[in-house]
Structure 1
Amino acid sequence: MKIGLVLPNIPSYSETFFKNKIVGLQQNGHTVILFVNNSEAESKYHNCTVVKAPKLNGNKIIVLWNLLLELLKMIFINPKRSYRLYKFNKKDNVSFIKNFKSIVSNQFLLTQKLDWLHFGFGTMAIERENIAQAIVAKMAVSFRGYDHYVYPQKNKNCYEILSSKSVKYHVLSDGMKKSLEEKGISEANISKITPAIDINLFEALIIKKSTGILQIKTIARLHWIKGLEYTLEALALLKTDGIQFHYTMIGDGIEKERLVFAVHQLGLSENVTFTGKLSPQEIKEELSKTDIYLQYSIQEGFCNAVLEAQAMGLVCIVSDAEGLSENVLHNQTGFVVAKQNSKLLFEKIKQVIQLPEAEKKNIQEQAILRVQNEFSLEKQKERFIEFYQ
């Protein structure tokens, strides 16, 4: 098959989800074409042709030239597909001006003959709901946490048109699947494929009880959605209780300045380190020196970092935000705490510190085994092959 994958940009080194999917499809004889919004992206990626959206903002001369090129494509290269897209959009009551803009700006998506057109994020399918039909391809859409839980809160009915189309949905968790079903999407059109990790890189490493300062870590974007302020408040209670620890926050983001100030206000300056982004190998090294892993998010689709921590045998404490309660099985492979409650998190950390070694080892071993059996890259590849069949 020929599969078009629509993404904001070429996958970065940390986006193993997309890289693994692409390689798996290629190994099974399928052709993958990447469509990216970034007009300055590379033209090749893992033996994939990269088709780039035209640059339609910025320098006026460049924009006018690109508009002319897209109009020529519309008239001489993609006239039938452009007309079909116009008709389908019109049927959805899209205004003439908006319809025309959509046809011009999406010419790069009309250029290839495909079996599947797959939007890598739900938000990328908005106002592009008819493109797959216009090029006579099947349509697939992946929903992640932000697409499914956050964006619709700010943009009511944003998926109304999408839900009326023939679409195959990919979701990360049973919770997301149930939510789509409640919105009227047929169960037959929804496939759950969880994130996966390189279990050879993040190999099992049972962490022994720390003989020094307790090492606690989190890997996350520095964003309000990750619940990091609640985490810091819980750690402040831990410090007040006289427990010695050091907390390392791995990642970067728009909330860094506010979080650094929160660390200062809570009297945790000597207890907290911000590392910024790290490579997978560097993350593995950090995790190997960790006693407890925290992911106390307000919202989370699933979370690869928690899988990596479990694969290495860390005791994980997570919130009950969406996919996290499926990622970690409470009292079996880790612990799940109600979100947005710093005191509850503090109490759970104390309980984990006091766990008997035998009980802790049992949880670690169950976590390792479950990740190896259910969340390997090979298993994920198999599920995507099935998805397109």
Structure 2
Amino acid sequence: MKIGIVLAQPPGYSETFFNSKIHGLQAQGFEVTLFCQKNRRDFKACQVQTFPGKKTNPIILAFSFLTIYLSLLPYLGRIVKWYRLEKPSSFIKFLTRVYLNAPLLKADLDWLHFGFGTMALGKESLAKVIGAKMAISFRGFDIGIYPIKYPNCYQKTWKYLDQLHVISNDLHQLAIKEGLPSTIPVVKITPAIDVHFFKPKEPTQVPNSSTLQLISVGRLHWKKGFEETMRALNIVKNAGYDFTYTIIGEGDQYERIAYAAYEFGFLEQVRFLGKLSREEVKKEVEAAEIYIQYSIQEGFCNAVLEAQALGKLCVVSDAEGLPENVLHEQTGWVVPKLQPELLAEKIIVVSQLSVEEKYAISTQAIERVQTEFNIEKQQQAFVNFYQLPL
């Protein structure tokens, strides 16, 4: 079976979701090809086809157009079929779309899978044109935020979609709100992690300390809720608790987040470490006691899985997939989002638990991640995904 996956670029070493999926499919005899806007020199896992870009030099652009169109001559029937399906108002714009999507028009696939829902926009009927089944994945932003800005953006997608993949039940419900027909099969396959690498040191329990060791991993982006976390930590500070808060990740909201910590008077207690390697992330998380993921929007979050696998006490928001990631009062704690006073209260409560109570939560989190969110289980789920009778 031949699987084509559309992504912006090949996954990096830390993007275990896609890498494990590719390796798992290949191990079962599937042929996998990535279709991307740009390639990565260090990516060798499978074949990569890149989409032609819009050249700025008119001479180079004209030569590129000519080369691409000559290569498409054997696929003229597909182009005509696409034209009839799309019924474009502008023939020139259609020719541009043909040029930009040439790798897909030439592809011989059984499944065309768009790695994020937004990547299918403008390409909805291409799977039908090339005789493949169409799948898309919803991972968070693409169904939780994008349709707010662009209402009804997926109405055309539903018309051609054969099967939908979601990483949480909540994202499935959001898709239904956006008009997903009940006739389209939906399969939930959650993210997974390398549980052999993210394995806790013994013993897993952390003794009570006078200084709270807190940590978060994520892009410095508004949807990660770092400003709300700072407000919560201000309440924790005013309640008389000392803490150190480590943030791993980079992004364009650094100044805004750092200024919030400065205004609250505890900037010196916050460590901004930027982007770290997987080994460095593991080391920093191991040194902390409480992991915080107070996101405003979150599809699922691998970093929370990794923290639970390492036996950390996880306090998360109720955004999208997080309540499925962390089971409230079983493997961690779930707090309503955008209510920093409740987050502060929970951090204080967790810090005051006995060593035995912390150990019970920690061990339950470790066991659940090892059983439910291991890479091997995820790989088999994707093999089954493409073999489901439709």
**Normalised by the size of structure 1, how large is the TM-score?**
0.95
Does 1:208 pair with 2:203? no
Give the distance between the partners of 1:217 and 1:388, measured in 2 at CA. 38
Q: 2:237 & 2:280 partners in 1: Cα distance?
A: 27
**Structure 2 Cα separation of the partners of residues 43 and 357 of structure 1:** 45
> Is the alpha carbon distance of 1:61 and 1:255 closer, same or farther for their aligned partners in structure 2, counting shifts above 3 Å?
farther
**Which position in structure 1 is the counterpart of 2:385?**
387
1:88 aligns with 85
Amino acid at match of 2:284: E
State the secondary structure of the residue aligned to 1:161: helix
Q: Of 193, 196, 201, which residue of structure 1 is paired with 2:192?
A: 196
Cα displacement (A) at 1:71: 2.2
1:133-152 to structure 2, matched below 5 A, reads 133-152=128-147
- Go from structure 1 to structure 2 and tell me whether the alpha carbon gap of 1:44 and 1:73 turns closer, same or farther (over 3 Å shift): farther
Query: How many angstroms apart in 1 are the aligned matches of 2:242 and 2:233?
Result: 10
| Aligned residue in 2 for 1:45 | 44
Deviation sequence 1:43-74 (CA, Å, 0-9, x none): 9621x111011121433333232222222233
* 1:262 partner letter: A
Letter in 2 for 1:123: T
Residue 326 of structure 2 is aligned with which of 316, 325, 328?
A: 328
| Contact 2:53 2:100 survives alignment (8 Å) | no
Instruction: Map 1:260-299 onto structure 2 (within 5 A).
Output: 260-299=258-297
Residue 94 of structure 1, CA deviation: 5.6
Distance 1:361 1:293 in 2: 15
Alpha-carbon offset, residue 181 of structure 1? 3.7
Q: How many residues align?
A: 384
Distance 1:169 1:66 in 2: 35
Which of 352, 358, 361 aligns to 1:360? It is 358
1:307-340, Cα deviation, whole Å (9 max, x unpaired): 0000111100000001001111111110000100
Identify the residue that residue 106 of structure 1 maps to in structure 2.
101
Q: Alpha-carbon deviations, 1:98-140, whole Å to 9, x = none?
A: 3332222101111221111111010000000011111101111
User: Does the CA-based 8 Å contact 1:249-1:272 persist in structure 2?
Assistant: yes
Q: Is the 8 A contact 2:138 2:165 kept in 1?
A: yes
Deviation at residue 145 of structure 1 after TM alignment: 0.3
Checking the alignment, whether the CA contact within 8 Å between 2:124 and 2:156 is kept in structure 1 is: yes
AA aligned opposite 1:191: V
Tell me what 1:79 maps to. Answer: 76
* 2:7 corresponding residue in structure 1: 7
Select the residue among 77, 99, 116 that pairs with 1:121: 116
Q: 1:378 to 1:215 in 2, by over 3 A?
A: same
Shift of 1:237: 1.5
TM-score by length of 2: 0.95
Task: Name 1:306's counterpart in structure 2.
Answer: 304
| Cα separation, 2, equivalents of 1:188 and 1:169 | 7
The 2-side partners of 1:207 and 1:285 are apart by 16
Cα distance in 2 between the residues matched to 1:291 and 1:187: 46
Change (3 A) 1:243 1:147: same
For structure 1, list consecutive stretches of 5 or more residues without a partner in the other structure: none
Residue aligning to 2:54: 56
The answer to whether 1:229 aligns with 2:224 is no
Counterpart CA distance in 2 for 1:150 and 1:53 is: 26
Q: Which range moved further: 324-333 or 183-192?
A: 183-192
1:26 equivalent in structure 2 = 26
> Would the alpha carbon gap of residues 257 and 61 (structure 1) be closer, same or farther in structure 2, given more than 3 Å must change?
farther
TM-superposition CA deviations, 1:213-254 (whole Å, max 9, x none): 221000011000011000011111211222111000000011
Out of 198-207 and 156-165, give the one that drifted further: 198-207
Shift of the 43–140 alpha-carbon distance from structure 1 to 2, 3 Å rule, reads farther
Distance 1:302 1:187, change over 3 A: farther
Distance (whole Å) between structure 2 residues aligned to residue 304 and residue 166 of structure 1: 27
Structure 2 gaps, min length 5: none
